[in-house]
Chain A
Amino acid sequence: MSFLDYAPAPESQALLNLRSDYGLFINGEFVAGRGEPFQTINPATEKPIALIAHANTADVDAAVASARRAYDRTWSKLSGSDRGKYLFRIARLVQERARELAVAETLDNGKPIKESRDVDVPLVAAWFFYYAGWADKLDHAGVGPTPSSRGVAAQVIPWNFPLLMLAWKIAPALAAGNTVVLKPAETTSLTALLFAEILQQADLPAGVVNIVTGGRETGQALVGHPDVNLVAFTGSTGAGRAIARSVAGTDKKVILELGGKAANIVFDDAPIDQAIEGIVNGIFFNQGHVCCAGSRLLVQESIHDDVIDRLKQRLSTLRLGDPLDKNTDIGAINSADQLRRIRELTDIGEQEGGERWSPACVLPESGFWFAPTIFTNVSTSHRIARDEVFGPVLSVLTFRTPAEAIAKANNTPYGLSAGIWSEKGSRILAVADKLRAGVIWANTFNRFDPASPFGGYKESGYGREGGRHGLASYLKPASGRSAARTVAAAPAEASPELDAKAAVSRKKAAK
């Protein structure tokens, strides 16, 4: 046995006290669902973990009613600093129970424990800490003085970062003074329910956060519910389109964070070893189940062969296997459905003439697995260069000039993220300026921070999450007259207030 086969180092599951079945979290308590409960399974072994309740329309009604009651009676009346205290408390409890949450996330989702431990859960805590700080500073959120909350937020989240997406949604909503009904993805409800226990521990007033589990129809019932004021969704572009259609004509505020097909552009003057790491992290992080994954590698012609050579060498050191092993780099694909889709698209990639390569790696017998794969000889018309694969599959294209790189990078219906690798600062700025993508990383990839807004152009959705912009989505300006009066009286000093003034004057002009 070689040293690089590292002896097994599994994370212990001893801390995790899972129940055999979970109800819906409505009005501060777990209650039985009225639909047919379903199993959530470990995608690495296909073994059942727990039975999850299924919310039907009546359950969704109850959850929204509970959120409305909590909004009217408690949460909208609390001061910002008091809301902040709850959020700080939640953040600390997430940190205290970090290891438990990481193990649960890995069991239910299939992602490697080193990612849930070092990325997902710490970011969850960071998100709550960050927005806790905002709760009493809403005047500076950029929507004018004394903004108000929107009411009840309906939030539907995906399966790729179950707990992190929950934090992205719940933390700003609560800081802004809204109450929430959240629906986790069908295959990954577990950590949302552990989070519900944390809310009980934190003594969050009943009904401020409600969690309904179930399938697509549960989500449809929630976003279509007449008593929700805001719909926030992260998921596929197809589902996002359906949501946009269903809320059209209502006064619901909508935030959509959808798919992506990000270009990761490597220039010939890039810091090559770090660029290789960035390419690997860009597409193989979380098995490529990342909406902002760098799934299209655009590499300058002159260094193409060298980059591919180095990339292949690097990929052969990646370790695929038991997600709970601390040395695992690539975990399991989240579901049989997703695995089917990845296989389908990669087969098409081969048929269309892409040259397929994977490192030698043994896939476990049970569970859903897909070896890291790169396609060279890909052109912009190939489906693997256009469709979002949402798996560990990289398409490599080349370019000769910066103009060509920009044109190819922008030639996609999506526009969520992009990466630029170059040692030349002026080039980075010039190229970034012309890329139509919401997030652009320079000499890094897949970096997230609660202070940084995140969101897309074109079919990647609208609205921003994270930072001040993410907070603003959950607020609305104070009613026209009083806002105008306050602004007129306010001296022009700090920039947030200038922003606020600009926003208000734009609004007036629109009227």
Chain B
Amino acid sequence: MTSSQLAMAQLNTGERALALLGGEATDANLRRYLHGIPGIDAVGLEQRAADLGSRSVKTSSKKWALDKIISLIDLTTLEGADTPGKVRSLVGKALTPDAGDPACPRVAAVCVYGDLVPVAVEALGSAHAAGSDVGINVAAVATAFPSGRASLAVKLADVGDAVRAGADEIDMVIDRGAFLSGRFGQVYDEIVAVKEACRRVDGSYAHLKVILETGELNTYDNVRRASWLAILAGGDFIKTSTGKMAPAATLPVTLSMLEVVRDWKRLTGARVGVKPAGGIRTSKDAIKYVVTVAETVGEEWLTPSLFRFGASSLLNDVLMQRQKMTTGHYSGPDYVTID
């Protein structure tokens, strides 16, 4: 750590933001700061992402990457028609992704709506990580997901409910309307408040993932500014999308967010996670993300506390590829379980 990083590390989130912004987190101060960040050339960013996507990951590297991908998945079900049975089945899949191979790693977390958190916690039983390093976490989407269109009080109640029910991670959405109209202070304050609502009775905090819904932000410059804003306000993770609209996660968007967390570490020494979510369905795509993480922020980021895939159908494709690598012939959808 450099001396300036060390100085930053001793501050709490609010003090750090105050020091970086040179004042309170007002619209004006935030605008000055966020608009002072170097811009993004879209053509160049997309070219770089395409180059990273052309890496050829074969044999032992591919095997390693597939196992790694499984261990980074937030296995997700976010349907209005979700039932306790569906969630129990999802948890079963999370615990034993490949019934035919006990060596297959478990996923990082299951991600559900807030009201289904108790079901997930109960189904996990002793496998519930509850914030520890072993086991599976329960993530809940909250803050009037996916639109975020509710009063702050309702959003905070939503978060508080999920945390009390045992959620280890909260996936919140930012107020895109406020962000796009330049009310950065409001977005900032809301994230700070949600983070506070993640506080458990014992004083510890549920992990906060901040969903930027990049598909609604229109430009890479906006994605970058929203990423900085979310990190300044204390988000533990920045997440691309709700998965409820297209475009969801793309490689260039994820690359630009990884560059932000890399720069945040350069600046403060602290590590923030990244979660692309929505639209990543194949092993081939997921491997491109693994390559992009490794070559942008380094392999140390390929760990569940710093990188996740928000996905549902991805897992089965990875399992089929994995079976193919073990047996030498292609598997089919009947040889993996539906969840």
Q: Which residues of A contact B (CB under 8 A)?
A: 1-9, 114, 118, 269-274, 277-278, 317, 326-327, 423, 443-444
Contacts and interface: CB of A to CB of B under 8 A. Distances in A.
B102 interface: no
B299 A3 contact: yes
A3 B54 contact: no
Contacts of B44: 271, 273-274, 277-278, 443-444
B39 interface: yes
Contact of A423 (B39, B54, B256): B39
A9 B287 CA distance: 15
Contact of A273 (B45, B56, B299): B45
Contact of B41 (A7, A8, A271, A326): A271
B60 interface: yes
Interface string B258-293: 010000000000000000000000000000001000
Contacts of A114: 54
B56 A9 contact: yes
B59 interface: yes
Given A9-B56, A274-B41, 7 more contacts: A3-B290, A269-B39, A271-B38, A271-B41, A273-B38, A273-B259, A277-B44
Contact of B47 (A2, A277, A317, A326): A277
Contact of B295 (A1, A4, A270): A4
B320 to A, nearest CB: 20
A7 B39 contact: no
Given A3-B294, A4-B295, A4-B299, A271 B40 contact: yes
12 contacts: A3-B294, A3-B302, A7-B60, A7-B62, A269-B39, A271-B39, A273-B38, A273-B44, A274-B40, A277-B44, A277-B48, A443-B43
A272 B38 contact: yes
Contacts of A2: 299
Nearest to A6: B61
B299 A443 contact: no
Contact of B64 (A3, A271, A273, A443): A3
A273 B54 contact: no
Q: In the complex, which of the residues B41, B55, B62 has the most CB atoms of chain A within 10 Å of its own CB atom?
A: B41
B56 A327 contact: yes
Interface string B230-261: 00000000000000000000000000100100
A219 B54 CA distance: 39
Contacts of B58: 6-9
Contact of A6 (B38, B47, B56): B56
Leading 6 A-B pairs by shortest Cβ distance? A274-B44, A9-B56, A326-B56, A271-B41, A274-B41, A7-B61
B149 to A, nearest CB: 33
Nearest to B44: A274
B45 A274 contact: yes
B65 interface: yes
B57 interface: yes
Nearest to A11: B56
Nearest to A2: B299
Contacts, number: 72
Contacts of B61: 3, 5-7
A278 B51 CA distance: 13
Q: Which of A8, A118, A274, A277 is packed against the most chain B CB atoms within 10 Å? A: A274
A274 B41 CA distance: 6
Contacts of A3: 61, 64-65, 68, 290, 294, 299, 302
A10 to B, nearest CB: 9
B151 to A, nearest CB: 38
B43 A444 contact: yes
Contacts of B295: 4, 317
Nearest to A113: B56
Contacts of A7: 57-62
Given A274-B48, A277-B47, A277-B48, A6 B55 contact: yes
Contacts of A274: 40-41, 44-45, 48
Contacts of B54: 114, 118, 326
A157 B157 CA distance: 72
Contacts of B39: 269, 271, 423
Nearest to B302: A3
A185 to B, nearest CB: 28
B94 to A, nearest CB: 24
Nearest to A1: B60
A444 B44 CA distance: 7
B282 to A, nearest CB: 19
Nearest to A423: B39
B67 to A, nearest CB: 11
A129 to B, nearest CB: 22
- Scoring A1, A3, A269 by chain B CB atoms within 10 A of each residue's CB, the highest score goes to A3
A257 to B, nearest CB: 26
Nearest to B46: A274
A32 B330 CA distance: 51
B36 to A, nearest CB: 10
